[in-house]
């Protein structure tokens, strides 16, 4: 308890108002950057390796997940596998079976949990779902923060739920991604606070959105989260990953996020260990552009 109080004190010390003009200026400068030629080919390959290829629909079937896994392992003959496939808890076992059949050990199985996307149930129910995901074979779990508690100022509860989820994930050797659902947070200050609470509570990644509301990922929210990760890194020396998700559909979108990541956090974070992109249709656009550019440059 004393340790938690100390951490909450640190979070309050790192919390600060957001300069909107500064945020806008950084984004304008970042969007003015261009990546061309062989550098763009490299970035496109890198983006593929960072994708969490996702299907989260009520109509998902075993057949759909099987096709998703094959696509994840082999997006194109000249491209790497994606980082992970992300599915609902009931389909984790199927995804694991298909990966085992293929013999691929690089692609991770991720699942959403804790009553995704709303999180509006008691922790005891969230805990059961989380343990179910992990027992079915998930390597990574994307949970949602308790936005109700955050917006009501019960920051201790937000912290507690993330910390308990992290403790469970540690028992299974799994990674924890914490979704802020930035589109439901009313200010950049709320986004920073949610980021810091999640990071100090043990998140391996912080993630923008569930993809189930509008807006999903935005460069503004992403930038605020990047600054929180940077401040945590300066304060502790520990690196935390980030995952934009929700509405990222084109290679240009993904490149814009990747440029900003590099400008704020630097080369140390240009790695799928610390950067993921949650998407379902993005890979089609990236593969198409990569094949076109490669043909032009050969």
Phi, psi of 235 (to 5 degrees): -75, -40
Nearest CA-CA partner of 193 in 8, 65, 49: 8
Nearest CA-CA partner of 149 in 175, 114, 174, 176: 114
Torsion, Cα of 6, 238, 195, 228 (10° steps): 100
3-class SS at 45?
A: helix
Q: Let me know if 106 is a catalytic residue.
A: no
Catalytic entry in 108, 126, 207, 253: 207
Residue 7's CB is within 10 A of a number of other CB atoms, namely 16
Contact 112, 88 (CB under 8 A): yes
Report the C-alpha gap between 59 and 106 in whole angstroms.
27
Report the C-alpha gap between 30 and 223 in whole angstroms.
11
Q: Let me know if 142 is a catalytic residue.
A: yes
Q: Let me know if 207 is a catalytic residue.
A: yes
Catalytic entry in 166, 204, 243, 285: 243
∠ CA 213-265-289, nearest 5°, is 60
Catalytic entry in 142, 204, 253, 285: 142
Contact 68, 34 (CB under 8 A): no
What are the residue numbers of the active site? 142, 207, 243
């Amino acid at each position: 308890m004393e340790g938690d109080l100390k951490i909450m004190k640190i979070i309050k010390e790192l919390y600060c108002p957001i300069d909107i003009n500064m945020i806008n200026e950084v984004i304008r400068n970042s969007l003015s950057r261009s990546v061309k030629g062989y550098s763009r080919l490299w970035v496109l390959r890198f983006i593929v390796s960072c994708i969490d290829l996702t299907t989260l629909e009520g109509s998902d079937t075993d057949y759909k997940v099987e096709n998703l896994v094959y696509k994840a392992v082999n997006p194109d003959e000249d491209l790497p596998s994606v980082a992970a496939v992300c599915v609902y808890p009931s389909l984790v076992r199927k995804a694991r079976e298909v990966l085992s059949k293929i013999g691929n050990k690089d692609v991770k199985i991720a699942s959403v949990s804790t009553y995704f996307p709303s999180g509006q149930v008691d922790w005891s129910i969230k805990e059961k779902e989380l343990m179910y995901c992990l027992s079915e074979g998930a390597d990574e779990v994307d949970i949602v923060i308790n936005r109700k508690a955050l917006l009501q100022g019960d920051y201790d509860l937000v912290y507690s739920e993330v910390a308990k989820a992290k403790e469970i994930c540690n028992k299974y050797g799994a990674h924890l991604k914490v979704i802020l659902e930035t589109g439901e947070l009313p200010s950049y200050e709320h986004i920073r606070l949610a980021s810091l609470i999640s990071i100090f509570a043990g998140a391996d990644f912080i993630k923008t959105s569930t993809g189930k509301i509008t807006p999903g990922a935005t460069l503004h929210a992403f930038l605020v989260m990047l600054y929180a990760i940077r401040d945590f890194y300066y304060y502790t020396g520990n690196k935390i990953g980030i995952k934009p998700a929700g509405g990222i559909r084109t290679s240009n979108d993904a490149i814009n996020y990747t440029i900003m990541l590099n400008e704020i956090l630097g080369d140390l974070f240009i790695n799928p260990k610390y950067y993921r992109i949650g998407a379902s249709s993005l890979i089609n656009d990236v593969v198409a552009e990569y094949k076109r550019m490669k043909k032009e440059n050969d």
